[in-house]
Structure 1
Amino acid sequence: MIARLFAGLATLLALTLASTACAKTDHGRLIEIEQVAVPGLPVQRLTIWLPPGYDRSKRRYGVVYMHDGHNLFDPAKSNFNKVWAADRAMLAAMRLGAEPRIIVGIWAPGNDRYRQYLPRDIYDAASPALRTQMDTMAGGPVVSDIYIAWLAGPLKSWVDKAYRTRPERDHTAIVGSSMGGLVSCYAFMRYQAVYGQAGCVSTHWPAVDPRDLAGANPELIALWDQWFKGRLGQPEGRRLWFDHGTATLDQYYAPYQQVVDTRIAALGWQRGRDWQSKVYAGAEHEENAWAARLPEIFRFLLR
């Protein structure tokens, strides 16, 4: 499997000169790369943002890998005509002292998003009844283990070769929302030598449609608690961000997040230094809400 994954690196390298679009503005440069074939995954697509000044300097930059890349920069390419405005958030964070970083946005693969983002080990640990609900939503094999191996291996190797990066753990972050928050946690804990920071925004702890659950699900609460207990480890310079709102889908997250917060504190992580967990009253589960707090997230993670 590892050999097959690294075969995808050659495909990415071949695409370096075949980017489908390149837009340069006062807010940096956007590069689009379509049709990245990865064994075991749906076809992938990338949008890469280079900070202002990248082309005029020899400086090296850290990297933030972000899921749902189509919803990061351009409303015309987004699902709901609204975006995180990740480039503007990075510039705002930089003005307040955050380290400037390249952003690599990995598009969600349409209807395959759920099965690409649902942590495979949670799926494997779920009861038959819960797994049946997950199977219904997935519509195919859960492939998040392949996805995060590709992110941490072939994709990161290509990015580090194609751009002037600082490849070390302390200069590499992963960020996502909803199911993207789950897979960000998954990657952060599975590849501790790769990612120094993770932003898990409006993390979809119910894993399935919360309206199909009778309140907060005790099985899922226990699964997430044991997941962090067994996988998170000590901070050792890493930083972790959680948040959620209180409206729409976010209204279901508090009971799960509170258990996760308690577990992280029990593992010795110092809140405000190693990790943060915030509640935004009235905030909904949507891109405008995430855009509003992304500068704060970047400031904490990239300081």
Structure 2
Amino acid sequence: MRSLVFLIVTGLLFYSCNSNISKVNNGEIIRIDSFPSKFVSPRNIDIWIPSNYSSDSLYAVMYMHDGQMLYDSSKTWNKQEWGVDEVISNLQNKRLIQNCIVVGIWNSGPGRHSDYFPQKPFEQLDIRFQDSLLNNVNRNSSEGLFYNGIQSDNYLKFLVEELKPYVDKNFQTKPDLDNTFVCGSSMGGLISMYAICEYPNVFGGAACLSTHWIGTFSADNNPIPESFATYLSNNLPGSNNHKLYFDYGTETLDALYEPFQLKIDSVIKTAGYDQNNWLTLRFDGHDHSENSWRKRLDIPFEFLLRINN
């Protein structure tokens, strides 16, 4: 396996030998520093491969947003992580899911909201409300929440037209719809939902944890959730070959989500989804954090990646 990883690494032009690469308990991380794009700002990509990665096998691919938060709590801003390598390795060891690799796409820091807020639902909003959002100030800095405008269409073009072809060329992937998935939480849940709607011929499943349906900081007099519901009612992909996973907790920011998720659930049911291809779960006591998402990550992974799915 080590020789195979060496061959992979030497073939990656942007591979980094940086000691800052996340440490994992299972498998291995391959870092691509500042992956270039004509659509969005460069960003790091952390690709996790299992310890038994082999040139004789092919692998499903899970694309995950907020890639710097996935693997190593010693390197994250809040000292939390998703525990992706442990969760997947445990499921694979139990033969509950197919072999897969994970492509962790780092967010762009202050551009995160711009990249992850779905563009078409934004454009459905009243122009005055759009302007108010674009002038909104980030709670944690003096920069605008959408300091770079809305870039989610460009972000998805980067993912589909630049990153995915690169991954499929350099790794042993199954590039088809049935083996390509997208996953994220909060704003990452929104962009995962948007990805499967905008590119239904690319992504066969989406996992949206603690989806941030309010889009900003307040649920009061907020037209954003309704805009998302309208968009989904017109753009959900066919239920015959797609799978959707949603969830939410009951604490901190997640405490706001239930009424909006229930509205989305109604839209999904109307579109023909059932228990075979759609799952929405509530987790009492779970809050809006990587620690909570880690506790339940095995559920969406098994739902999307289970053998003979």
Q: Which is further off, 85-94 or 191-200?
A: 85-94
> What runs of 5+ residues in structure 1 fail to find an aligned partner?
1-12
Q: Distance in 1 between matches of 2:22 and 2:159?
A: 24
Secondary structure of the corresponding residue to residue 242 of structure 1:
strand
Query: What is residue 279 of structure 1 aligned with on the other side?
Result: 282
Pick closer, same or farther for the CA change 1:231–1:15 going to 2, 3 Å: farther
Q: Which of 78, 81, 92 is equivalent to 1:80?
A: 78
Q: Which of 215, 220, 228 is equivalent to 1:214?
A: 220
Query: What is residue 263 of structure 1 aligned with on the other side?
Result: 267
Q: Which of 294, 300, 303 is equivalent to 2:297?
A: 294
Q: Distance in 2 between matches of 1:47 and 1:169?
A: 22
Pick closer, same or farther for the CA change 1:82–1:201 going to 2, 3 Å: same
Q: C-alpha deviations, 1:162-221, integer Å up to 9, x for none?
A: 0000111100100000000000001111100111110001000000112xx426x3x223
Query: What is residue 90 of structure 1 aligned with on the other side?
Result: 88
Identity of aligned residues (%): 32
Query: What is residue 254 of structure 1 aligned with on the other side?
Result: 258
RMSD of aligned alpha carbons: 1.9
Q: Which of 172, 176, 196 is equivalent to 1:168?
A: 176
Secondary structure of the corresponding residue to residue 46 of structure 2:
strand
Q: Distance in 2 between matches of 1:133 and 1:79?
A: 29
Contact 1:178 1:202 in 2 (8 A): yes
Contact 1:23 1:29 in 2 (8 A): no
Answer yes or no: is 1:139 the counterpart of 2:147: yes
Secondary structure of the corresponding residue to residue 155 of structure 1:
helix
Normalising by the residue count of structure 1, what TM-score does the alignment of the two structures yield?
Answer: 0.89
Answer yes or no: is 1:156 the counterpart of 2:159: no
Displacement of 1:24: 8.4
More helix, by proportion: 1
Contact 2:196 2:237 in 1 (8 A): no
Q: Distance in 2 between matches of 1:299 and 1:265?
A: 21
Contact 2:182 2:207 in 1 (8 A): yes
Read off the aligned partner of 2:233 and give its amino acid letter: K
Answer yes or no: is 1:67 the counterpart of 2:62: no
Q: Distance in 1 between matches of 2:162 and 2:39?
A: 14
Q: Distance in 2 between matches of 1:249 and 1:25?
A: 29
Query: What is residue 194 of structure 2 aligned with on the other side?
Result: 186
Query: What is residue 128 of structure 1 aligned with on the other side?
Result: 127
Secondary structure of the corresponding residue to residue 62 of structure 2:
strand
Read off the aligned partner of 1:16 and give its amino acid letter: L
Displacement of 1:25: 6.3
Displacement of 1:23: 7.7
